[in-house]
Amino acid sequence: MHLQNTYNHLHVHMPEYELHLIVKEHLSRDRLEQGWELPPVIGMKLHTSPGYKDALEIVSEAGNIHIFEGIGGNLWGSYIRPAKRHHNMVMVVTESPDLRGIKGTLRYILSYFYEKQRLKDVDYLLYIGDNARKWYLFCDLPTDRLIPFIYTVRSLYDKDSCDESIHKLTDRRSPGPHHAQSASPHFKLVFIGSLIKLKAVDLLLRALHLTHLSFSLDIIGVGPEQEYLEALVKDMQLSAQVIFKGSMPNSALRNDLEEYDLLVLPSHYDGWGCVVNEALMVGTPVLCSSNCGAADLFTENSCLGSVFESGNLRSLVSSIGHLIRKGKTTPEQRTFIRMWANSINSMTVASYLARFLLNCNQRDCNVSVKAPWKLPAGCPE
């Protein structure tokens, strides 16, 4: 889905190409239950759960460009190798593997040999986050075949959007006195995501408890950890500051997201973290863990957000305490972040991808294409 937002705009830059989108399912039941909304398909022919022979016929036609999401499962043997055998340009979008713990150690060993073999059939790898770049360099993939890429979300001002609630936000490009800055005297934080161990919401609660600062935290999402987290809030006497809001539709969430001073994504591991895009697009800064792919956005642009060491309570306490002490997000900060976020919207990323696709063929690229989100933000003093 997060790739589709970008693909929806490729037809604008590649009108002479016939574009096909092949998916197993358009949107999983789990994500629908979390409040995700089914995106439209624009400028592409959609194939949902096609038979093996039908899908193979599409990827086997010679002289085409194929972008696969991931290299695991049966993709390699069933589709990637046949596509390459028929002299197509093969690209793969992938995140970094989760290398934590014992399972991570086994994955480290197996993936190294497994992926080295399979990468021989890949012309270019579109890596999601700098951790993925480091991993595939370790797997001996040449630098010139590693292309930075990101997931995108539907733009608030996307002309192709069919969501009326999004169109109602068009008067909010310039922050006004009623919504530019939260009316709350407290520093307002928000977590958005599934309430599962991987998201490390308990780490966030412990860190906030140790800051001894004035704040409020809204937790938006549902999951199996909710009962445990609610008990933890009660034990730490944070019930007056922490509110569990359940799940919300994306469109409704976007209406409220700019009211917060900080989005926190403390995940032990997150391939990217698209809620980061959502926050930046409305001018809300972000604090995320070093194991989130989206941490790549803040390496050189500290005015957009910060990164703490994944799983490290002391690092999170230090980072979040510093941000709360700095004070609430100002209208000027929001305007700057919102303007910078044009570099990560689906239209901009589609233009970047199309320029690469139109100027490169199998392992031979005659143009240097700079990722727009990699350019210095020029943070204000």
Identify the pLDDT of residue 328.
94
Identify the pLDDT of residue 327.
93
| 4-154+344-374 placed in CATH 3.40.50 | yes
Q: Give CA–CA dist 365/309, Å, rounded.
A: 36
Structural domain boundaries of the chain? 4-154+344-374, 177-341
Which value, to the nearest 10 degrees, does the dihedral of the CA atoms of residues 75, 277, 227, 212 take? 140
Could you tell me the pTM of the whole model? Answer: 0.87
For residue 251, give the amino acid letter.
Answer: S
Q: Residues with Cβ < 8 Å from 200, sequence gap 6 or more?
A: 266, 267, 268, 289, 311
Q: Give CA–CA dist 167/10, Å, rounded.
A: 22
CB 377 within 8 A of CB 304: yes
Identify the pLDDT of residue 177.
39
- Helix count and strand count (H, E) for the chain: 16, 14
The position carrying tokens 């910078």 is 340
177-341: same fold as 4-154+344-374? yes
Give the count of alpha carbons within 13 A of 349, CB side only: 25
Reading the chain (381 residues) residue by residue, the pLDDT tens digits are 678 889 999 999 999 999 999 988 766 666 666 656 667 889 999 998 888 888 888 888 888 999 999 887 778 788 998 998 888 999 999 999 888 888 878 877 887 888 888 888 899 999 999 999 999 999 889 998 999 999 998 765 454 433 333 333 333 334 443 344 555 678 999 999 999 999 999 999 999 999 999 999 999 999 999 999 999 999 999 999 999 999 888 777 877 899 999 999 999 999 999 999 999 999 999 999 999 999 999 987 888 999 999 999 999 999 999 999 999 999 999 999 999 999 999 999 999 999 999 888 766 776 677 899 988 777 776
Identify the pLDDT of residue 172.
38
Identify the pLDDT of residue 163.
36
Identify the pLDDT of residue 171.
37
Identify the pLDDT of residue 32.
60
Q: Give CA–CA dist 54/211, Å, rounded.
A: 57
Task: Identify which of 305, 346, 319, 292 has the alpha carbon closest to the alpha carbon of residue 130.
Answer: 292
Identify the pLDDT of residue 112.
80
Instruction: For CA atoms 48, 53, 54, 58, give the dihedral sign.
Output: positive
CB 17 within 8 A of CB 52: no
Number of C-beta neighbours around residue 47 at 10 A: 14
Identify the pLDDT of residue 300.
74
Identify the pLDDT of residue 184.
64
Q: What is the DSSP string of 60-99?
A: HSTT-EEEEE-S-TTHIIIIIHHHHHTT-EEEEEEE----
Task: Identify which of 185, 206, 194 has the alpha carbon closest to the alpha carbon of residue 320.
Answer: 206
What are residue 305's DSSP bridge partners?
Answer: 286
E strands, the chain, are 20-23, 45-48, 65-69, 89-95, 124-128, 146-149, 187-192, 215-220, 242-246, 262-265, 286-289, 305-308, 360-361, 364-365
Burial class (CB in 10 A: 0-12, 13-18, 19+), 77: exposed
The CATH classification number of 177-341 equals: 3.40.50.2000
